[in-house]
Structure 1
Amino acid sequence: MPSHDVIIVGGAVHGASAAYHLAAHPAFSGRVLLIEKDPSFAFAASALSAASIRQQFSDPTNIAISLYGIEFLRAIGERLAVGEDRPAISLVEGGYLFLATEAGLPVLAENHGLQAALGADMVLFSPEELAGRFPYLAVEDIAAASFGATGEGWFDGYGLMQAFRAKARALGAQMMTGTVTEIATEGGRATGVRLADGSFHGAGTVIVAAGTGARPLIEPLGLPMPVEARKRCIFTFACRDKLPGFPMLIDPSGTYCRPEGELYLCGAAPSPEDDPLATDFEVDHALFEEQIWPILAARVPAFETIRPGRAWAGHYDMNLFDHNAIVGRVPGFDNLLIANGFSGHGLQQAPAVGRGLAEWIVDGAYRMLDLSPLGYERILEGRPMVEKNIV
């Protein structure tokens, strides 16, 4: 008999969400073990992310996931309360503002129609309307913009992760510090995990939510895993001018910027040819000075004069196949599940994914949201899930 009904490898936001949703499921009474190699989470994406949520995707599954996510975040104080302790994650529904040039207008309009049809609260601005709403923006080259009037914004990602962990623990989930080195299998089933200290822990079901550490656990099972670590840098700065109602600004170049208290937080993906496998957490300050700041200063003239602040780097678990998450049963193994390859969207997708994994284990199928489009099968079949709004 296995020592635990479910073992979850990776104790950050997705592992913690799955542990909570399992422990809270009214039809589940099993034993859950959450294993994390670094409980300080010093290098975890959950702690180093820009921590934001949007419905402005082009794929209906991604939109539905974030629609559920914002409802979950709004009610987090009630949902994840432990006794009198009600967690707060400083959710700010400041909205995403996607700017589009004439070339990007058809995709923006198409995406807006789908988002609105699925219930997202999106507004399309003409250049004149945009200038009226956000007078501090330079919009001469902009044909239109899409803005999340409600339901989009930013929050404390580390706080969300810790709230999931605290509630899961209060509901009976066990937690362990250790490095999983192998998923043990036999006869098409996972039997447990082996740790670096040589110990073995049996499991009825195993979930791999190990971020950039998932590939060395999955590929020995004979499956391709197109997920690698990619470095992303985040920079902060102060601006002398007050810019009321500043949103999560997405420039047509892909550069983003949003408020962070009295400061601003910004970043951009490097060019594909300058985006190797991440092996360190060193900040690329030249990216800010040579690429990000010039773009932001041209878009927001007030940013021509700023005071740079703290900067840090984190690692995306980047799905190089199609930049979308891989969620659900691992093909060939009845009781091995995965939540990986979030490519920068992990925090906002954690509530829905954790619930979906719990439903799969308890009910044998997705109930609330159909997450099957994110399934591993598309990797094996060479069938990418197309998402046009990758930031």
Structure 2
Amino acid sequence: MKQVKFLLLAAFVTMFTGCQNEEIMEQDSEKDKPVPTGDTRIIIEGEGMLETSTRSSDGRVDFTGGYATGAGLYNGTAEPTVAAYPNAGYEVSYFYGGPASEPKRYDYAQNQSSTFRVPLGGQDHTFHCGFKKKKRTLAINADEGGTTAPEGTREYQVEKPITITATPKSGYEFTGWTVIDGDVTIENPGSSTTTVTLHGSNSTITANFKQSIRSITINLDRFYSSTSSMNSGKSYEYLTVSSTDCSGIICRIYGQTKNDMDNMDEVSYPVRIEQNQKVMYAYSEWETINQDGDTREKSATPQSFDIIIDNAIVLSNIKSPSGKQTLDFGEFDGKEITGIGYRMTFQFTSHWE
């Protein structure tokens, strides 16, 4: 019997102790809850609200794109501050509130302010808040010589990087991005593919290009040959042209031929650099025309030349630098001539064959 009484007493003590522990835990839990400071309420709600419960400890309510502060319980004579704060890339879409008798006493749309001091006057207040993506226009242009992607004028969200790419056309190279106007940041202006970020205003940027400089060395190798006799003689000059970059290059020589003392004909001699062929570009010949030993001369004399690359004349009517009527390729030895997108260096050699 004593043993039964002892067991019942132990069970009673255990139950009492358990109840005490639960009460202590509840008290501790209550300590974590915000304690209302009054009986007048400010409610903040709206589109995109992320939390349905108001955190009275700091009065913050989170939304998609930003947050507002000031919600909670107050003494009826309090004058709390209610404010809306957009996140980067967003702006206030609407923010207004007031007591039930004047629901838009405070309105962002009226004065573009998102911070209000609110004398409660013992009335509950309700505020409505919402945020939207902040967008501005960006015009992306390209100089002659290339294209961009994207291109033209479009609307983009601010503070959000936009990938841009510049692509040069054949014969051009990209030289960099330039900000023409506005408030915009280009991450790496020297890179053809980079990102651009809009900030506070509409902006314009341009991709810049320049023609590629193609360096070419042209070797002009002149050969001489001649035959002669008492009554006739021949002298020939041949030209072999080669290049360090011979793709699509032609040297075309212009000159005059003389068939007799009175007739002159204009002629041209195409020298195909890519074939590295030997071409006769000048000659003179004397022949006997009667029994008295009279002779006459036939000749061809170069006067100027063109450089043709990819079927386009890039240098034309090149004459001797000294102004001589007869072209002497030797005067170009070691010289550089620059055309649109090309830089040519000439090297000259000559010998008898």
- Range into which the TM-score falls when normalised by the shorter chain: under 0.3
Provide TM-score, normalisation by structure 1: 0.16
More helix as a share of residues: 1
- Relative contact order, higher structure (CA 8 A, sep 6+): 1
More strand as a share of residues: 2
- Structure number, greater radius of gyration: 2
Provide TM-score, normalisation by structure 2: 0.17
